[in-house]
């Protein structure tokens, strides 16, 4: 009976170590029934390798990046989670290769292990997730922290990556920011999200785009014409030029994106030139749109001048 209990404890301990990327804390070993003498013996014989005080790599001293992160979390004690740039790296939305690990601890904790950058604050459970078996701040909380530490362009890159990885819905994120009133990072992150989520109506977008067409020195195009069965946003017959503006269709599903690619391929195959501008480009990068229209129109018009 005692042997079966010991075997069950041993298996449970190995399962725990595997789930924690090869690391374990002293308190976990004691809770599993291992004595302090047995722990010290395993350290002496090289079966446990200290990573932080009271945290060990099991079997071999080398750890994966995930193992190192998990060891830092265990070293910081209950309630510790990866956060800030390390949390963003763990979520795959930002590159952070510094040796120090950034951890958020409950405000009541006084731990500060060497090699760990500690932030102290109380987090709501809704701000925490477990990603690849390591506790970490949720994507929105992580982005709020990045907005304080990084330049706007860098935070925007992390935001785009979070959306790309389906870790964040922009419309929901903007609503959730209301619950973080007074939190550092809310204002710059909201401004970035607004740039992505605010939408002109299709008619407003058309008026803005046509103003850019006039600035580019092009004649007004035909609008809403059907070509090869497709409804075209803007068409210049004399140039064979089509422009599509991704307005209210900005957040297209993969199926819709595939349809757009097929549509463009068929139009190009028919000898037409197709340009596609995003809502963001039309609204926030008008100089780029005007220059592109000028350059492409000049190229398309040149052969006709020499014919």
DSSP 178: G
Tell me what pLDDT residue 126 has.
93
Q: Are 91 and 136 in contact (CB under 8 A)?
A: yes
Exposure class string for 82-119: b at 16+ Cβ within 10 A, else e: bbbbbbbbbbebbeeeeeebbbbbbeebebebeebbbe
Q: How would you class 205 by CB atoms within 10 Å of its CB: exposed for 0-12, middle for 13-18, buried for 19 or more?
A: buried
Q: Which two tokens stand for residue 66?
A: 């995930």
Structural domains in the chain plus CATH codes? 10-63 (no CATH), 65-198 (no CATH), 202-306 (3.40.960.10)
Give the C-alpha separation, 215 to 269, whole Å. Answer: 29
Q: Are 284 and 208 in contact (CB under 8 A)?
A: no
Exposure class string for 124-134: b at 16+ Cβ within 10 A, else e: eeebbbebeeb
Tell me what pLDDT residue 249 has.
47
Tell me which residue of 235, 247, 301, 305 sits closest to 274, measured CA to CA: 235
| Beta bridge partner(s), residue 274 | 242
Q: Name, in order, each residue with C-beta under 8 angstroms of 231's C-beta and a sequence gap of 6 or more.
A: 224, 225
Tell me what pLDDT residue 255 has.
74
pLDDT tens for the chain, 307 residues long, are 445 545 556 777 889 999 999 999 999 999 999 999 999 999 999 999 999 999 999 999 999 999 999 999 999 999 999 999 999 999 999 998 878 999 999 988 888 999 999 999 989 999 999 999 999 999 999 999 999 999 999 999 999 899 888 899 888 898 899 999 889 999 999 988 887 766 666 778 888 999 999 999 999 999 989 999 999 999 999 999 999 987 644 445 667 778 888 999 999 999 999 999 988 788 888 999 999 999 999 999 875 444 4
Tell me what pLDDT residue 105 has.
95
Q: Give CA angle at 282 (276, 288), nearest 5°.
A: 80
């Amino acid at each position: 009976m005692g042997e079966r209990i010991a075997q069950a404890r041993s298996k449970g301990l190995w399962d725990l170590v595997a789930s924690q990327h090869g690391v374990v804390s002293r308190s976990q070993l004691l809770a599993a029934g291992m004595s302090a003498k047995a722990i010290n013996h395993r350290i002496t014989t090289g079966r446990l390798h200290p990573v932080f005080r009271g945290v060990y790599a099991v079997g071999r001293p080398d750890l994966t990046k995930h193992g190192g992160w998990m060891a830092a979390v265990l070293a910081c004690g209950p309630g510790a989670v990866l956060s800030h740039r390390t949390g963003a790296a763990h979520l795959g939305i930002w590159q952070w290769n510094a040796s120090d690990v950034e951890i958020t601890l409950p405000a009541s904790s006084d731990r500060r292990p060497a090699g760990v950058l500690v932030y102290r604050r109380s987090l709501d459970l809704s701000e925490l997730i477990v990603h690849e078996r390591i506790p970490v701040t949720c994507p929105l909380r992580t982005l709020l922290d990045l907005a304080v530490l990084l330049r706007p362009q860098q935070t925007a890159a992390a935001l785009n990556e979070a959306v790309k990885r389906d870790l964040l819905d922009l419309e929901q994120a903007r609503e959730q920011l209301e619950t973080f009133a007074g939190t550092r990072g809310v204002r710059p992150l909201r401004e970035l999200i607004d740039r992505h989520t605010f939408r002109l109506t299709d008619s407003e977008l058309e008026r803005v785009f046509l103003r850019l067409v006039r600035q580019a020195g092009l004649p007004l195009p035909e609008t809403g014409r059907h070509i090869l069965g497709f409804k075209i946003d803007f068409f210049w017959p004399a140039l064979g030029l089509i422009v599509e503006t991704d307005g209210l269709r900005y957040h297209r599903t993969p199926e819709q994106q595939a349809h757009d690619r097929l549509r463009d391929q068929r139009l190009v195959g028919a000898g037409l030139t197709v340009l596609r501008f995003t809502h963001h480009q039309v609204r926030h990068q008008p100089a780029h749109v005007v220059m592109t229209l000028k350059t492409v129109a000049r190229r398309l018009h040149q052969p006709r001048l020499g014919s």
